[in-house]
Amino acid sequence: MLRNLMVREYFSAIAASFNLLLEGGGKHPSAWREVGAAAISPSLGFTRLAYGDRYRSVFDSHNPATYTYMRIGWNKVDNLFDSAVSQNVKRNAATMDFHMSYGLPGKDGYTYTRPFDYFDFEFSATSANVFENIMSRGLLVGKDYAAGENYRGVWGLYGSYDYISPQVFRVSSTAVSLGTTGQLWLSKNVALQGTALAGVGYGAAGTIHGSGERDYHYGATPQALLALRMLFGQSANLDLTARSYYVSDVASTENRGTERILRGDAAFTVRVHGPHSVTIKYNASRRDASYPDLATTHQSVNTLSLLYTYSFGDTRFGAVDWRDTP
Least confident of 64-68, 194-198, 274-278: 64-68
CA distances for 59 relative to 16, 53, 316, angstroms: 10, 14, 25
Mean pLDDT of 34-43: 62
**Predicted confidence band at 168 (pLDDT cuts at 50, 70, 90)?**
confident
* 248 and 272 both lie in a single domain: yes
Does one domain contain both 234 and 292?
yes
Whether 120 is in a domain gets the answer yes
| One domain for residues 142 and 289 | yes
The count of domains in the chain is 2
Q: Which of 46, 61, 76 is the last residue of a domain?
A: 61
Say whether pLDDT at 280 is over 90: yes
Altogether, the residues listed in the chain come to a count of: 326
In this structure, the answer to whether residues 199 and 140 fall within a common structural domain is yes
Q: Examine the domain organization and report whether 57 and 175 are in the same domain.
A: no
pTM: 0.82
Average pLDDT over the chain reads 83
Average pLDDT estimate for 314-318:
84
Residue 227 covered by a domain: yes
Banded model confidence at residue 2, pLDDT cuts 50, 70, 90: very low
**46/155 same-domain check:** no
Q: Which of 27, 46, 61 is where one domain is finished?
A: 61
Q: Which of 18, 41, 61 is the last residue of a domain?
A: 61
> Is pLDDT above 80 for 300?
yes
Phi, psi of 160 (to 5 degrees): -150, 155
pLDDT tens, position by position, 42-78 = 655 555 556 555 545 554 456 789 999 999 999 998 8
* Domain of residue 274, CATH code: 2.40.160
Query: Angle at which helices 42-51 and 31-40 pack, to 10 degrees?
Result: 130
Decide if pLDDT at 296 tops 60.
yes
78 shares a domain with 48: no
- Domain containing residue 57: 1-61
Closest CA to 303 of 88, 94, 87: 94
**Burial group, residue 51, by CB count within 10 angstroms (0-12, 13-18, 19+):** exposed
Q: Do 78 and 304 meet the contact criterion of CB atoms below 8 Å apart?
A: yes
Confidence of residue 239 (pLDDT cuts 50, 70, 90): very high
Q: Tens of pLDDT along 80-126?
A: 777 555 567 888 999 999 999 999 999 988 999 988 889 999 999 99
Nearest one of 206, 197, 126 to 168, comparing CA atoms: 206
Q: Cα 311–313–315 angle (5° rounding)? A: 70
Give domain status of residue 304, yes or no. yes
Same structural domain, 25 and 162: no
Instruction: State residue 17's pLDDT score.
Output: 58
Do 72 and 38 fall within a single domain?
no
143 located within any domain: yes
CA distance 250 to 63: 43
Tell whether 14 and 151 lie within a shared domain: no
144 and 5 within one domain: no
What's the pLDDT score for residue 260?
Answer: 94
Residue 149 lies in a domain: yes
CA distance 176 to 158: 6
The stretch 170-188 carries a mean pLDDT of 96
The predicted model gives 246-252 an average pLDDT of 89
CA distance to 40, 154, 161, 202, 249, per residue, from 2 (Å): 23, 22, 11, 10, 20
Q: Residue 88 has what pLDDT?
A: 73
Q: Is residue 326 part of a domain?
A: no
- Going by the DSSP 8-state scheme, the letter that residue 325 receives in this structure is -
Based on the fold, state whether residues 41 and 75 are members of the same structural domain.
Answer: no
